[in-house]
């Protein structure tokens, strides 16, 4: 992506975000007592200032983008896309959602084992057997440290409980 296009995209995004904050999010989600005499001390003041600054930064990005030369080629620093990259990224998002869903039900150790194994196979590991061994050993070792050394109450889930 060229620097110009990047600035224009970010600028438009920042202006839209600023608008959403000022007209929708702040009135809806920031509570303020009705009897505040001084706006500067109101809980609304700081979010509005920051939303305004977001808009100003957005306009600045658009202005600087428009001043930049039009260059057709992409920058070489853009991350290279492997085959099926978007699908894998979606797969990773699903693994994260699954992790959040299973953590309280299966417990952290078993969920982490699944999470490790699925992620390793998602990135096409060349050591599948080692991946399975690590998927079992690493969560267990971390459980041992956090539960028995650090004294953290690691969630155990509803099924198999560890000592």
Q: How many other β-carbons are positioned within 10 Å of the β-carbon of residue 81?
A: 8
Segment 41 to 60, residues that bind another protein, using CB under 8 A = 41, 43, 46-47, 50-51, 53-54, 57-58, 60
151 vs 163, beta carbon nearer another protein:
151
The rounded distance, in Å, linking the Cα atoms of 152 and 163 is: 13
Quick one: which of 22, 92, 136, 162 contacts another protein (CB under 8 A)?
92
* Helical (H) or strand (E) element with 103: helix 85-106
Residue with tokens 């299973």: 102
Find the distance separating the first CA and the last CA of the chain, reported in whole Å: 53
Smallest distance, Å, CB 162 to another protein? 14
Residue 131 engages another protein in binding (rule: CB under 8 A): yes
Q: In Å, what is the CA distance from 50 to each residue of 57, 126, 151?
A: 10, 48, 40
Candidates 8, 19, 22, 99: give the one binding another protein (CB under 8 A).
Answer: 99
Nearer to another protein, 77 or 163 (CB): 77
27 interacts with another protein by CB under 8 A? no
- Out of 8, 125, 136, 162, the only residue in the binding site for another protein (CB under 8 A) is 125
């Amino acid at each position: 992506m060229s620097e110009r296009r990047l600035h224009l995209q970010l600028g438009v995004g920042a202006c839209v975000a600023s608008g959403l904050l000022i007209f929708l999010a702040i009135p809806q989600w920031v509570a303020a007592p009705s009897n505040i005499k001084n706006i500067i001390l109101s809980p609304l003041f700081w979010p509005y200032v920051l939303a305004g600054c977001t808009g100003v930064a957005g306009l600045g990005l658009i202005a600087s983008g428009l001043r930049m030369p039009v260059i057709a080629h992409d920058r070489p620093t853009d991350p290279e896309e492997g085959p099926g990259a978007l699908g894998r990224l979606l797969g990773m998002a699903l693994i994260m959602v699954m992790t959040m869903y299973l953590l309280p039900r299966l417990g952290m150790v078993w969920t982490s084992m699944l999470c490790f194994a699925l992620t390793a196979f998602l990135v096409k590991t060349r050591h599948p057997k080692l991946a399975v061994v690590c998927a079992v050993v690493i969560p267990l070792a971390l459980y041992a440290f956090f539960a028995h050394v650090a004294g953290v109450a690691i969630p155990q889930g509803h099924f198999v409980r560890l000592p």
